[in-house]
Amino acid sequence: MGRARRRPSAPRRRRGGPTAGRVALRLTAAAAVGLVALSAPATDIAAQVTASDAPVRGAAPAGPPAPATPADPVAPAAVDPAPVAELPVAAPPARRLQVELPAPMVPRGQPLQVTPPPAECGGYGNPRQVTPGVVPGAGSATVSWQADGRDAVRGYRVTAVSQALTTGGQPEPPRVDVAQRAGCGEVSAVLGGLTPGVRYVFWLEEALLDADTQVVEYVQVGWSSPVVVG
C-alpha cells in the first residue's frame, strides 16, 4: 500500500481585533439597554443589564449611587387658638383684722416712797458712814461721834490700830466697848495704853441685832484719819 495522502486542512482564522459584525451587535445591545432604561422600572433595568451579554470594553466602572437628598420639611399651617372666655372673679369682702394683745406684764407691789422718812440722829445713809473725831492725850485718845438712833443698834466698839508695823505678828490693838445711849446725841470713848509718838487710826463699829437670828454682830461704820498720840 502506498502512503495515504494528507488532506489539506482549511486555513485557520487568526484572532484579531473585534470584527465589524461584533461591534454592530454590541452597539445594538447598548441601544436596547438605553431604551429599556427609559421605559422600564429600575428593577427591570437591573435584571436586563445583568442578563445582557458581555460588558462593553473600555467602559469605566460605575461608582456608588449618589445619596438621596431629603425633601425640605413642610411647616405646619398656623392655627389661631380659640379665644378663651374671661370669667369674672369676685373680689373677697374686705375684713378688718382684729388682734387682741395681752396686757403688759407689770410687777405689782408697793409704790416707791418719794418722801424720805425722818432722819435719825445724824441724817441718812446706807450703809452708814461715820467719821469720828479724835483728841490725842498723853498715851491716850478721846474719840467721839454722833449716836445712831436705829432700834437695831445695841452699842459701839472703838479700836486703835497702830500704823507702826513690827516684825512678826502684830500685837492686839487697844479696844473699848460703849453702850447705846437714849435718844440722839454725842457718844464718846477714851482709849489708854497707847504708845506716844505713834500714829493711830481709830475704827468705829456698831453692834447690830439681826432681826431673824437675834444675834448681835459688829459692823464697821467709819474710821478716823491717822492721829499721832503725844
d(CA 230, CA 214): 42
Report if pTM > 0.85: no
Is it the case that residue 158 has pLDDT exceeding 60?
yes
Would you give the distance in Å from CA 138 to the centre of its chain?
A: 77
Would you give the distance in Å from CA 15 to the centre of its chain?
A: 106
CB 156 within 8 A of CB 216: no
Q: Is pLDDT larger for residue 74 or for residue 132?
A: 132
Q: What are 80-136's pLDDT values in tens digits?
A: 676 777 777 777 777 777 888 777 766 667 777 677 666 677 665 666 788 999 999
- Three-state secondary structure call for residue 162: strand
Res 42: pLDDT: 46
- Of the ranges 71-85, 140-154, 163-177, which one carries the lowest mean pLDDT score? 71-85
Res 128: pLDDT: 72
Would you give the distance in Å from CA 36 to the centre of its chain?
A: 89
- Structurally, at CATH architecture level, domain 133-228 sits in Sandwich (2.60)
Res 47: pLDDT: 44
d(CA 80, CA 202): 112
